[in-house]
Amino acid sequence: MDQVLVRPLLRFAVHEDGSLEVLSPWFPLVAFSTDLLAQADGRRILVRGDEVTVRCANGVATYALGPVDESGLRAGRLLRALA
């Protein structure tokens, strides 16, 4: 029997002023692409060492990042979230 694991996706809307609105819950485990992390603007998405913080108009969450896997993703474990 084959098993398929589906990673939860964080969903966002981008407002006209460029701010983000989180549309999904802050999942306890997610994956971040290294491309996304490399393009973090320091305002909406901030990377500091092995943590990433996502700031939205309706919430903020910080994830602890794991090492890069073979597909170029870094696992993120939710450290704290504010709605």
Q: What is the spatial distance between Cα 72 and Cα 83, in angstroms, rounded to a whole number?
A: 29
pLDDT in tens, 57-81: 999 999 999 999 999 999 999 999 9
- For the chain, give every domain's residue range: 27-82
Per-residue pLDDT, 2: 58
* Token digits of residue 52: 């990433």
| The overall pTM is greater than 0.85 | yes
pLDDT in tens, 4-20: 556 788 999 999 999 99
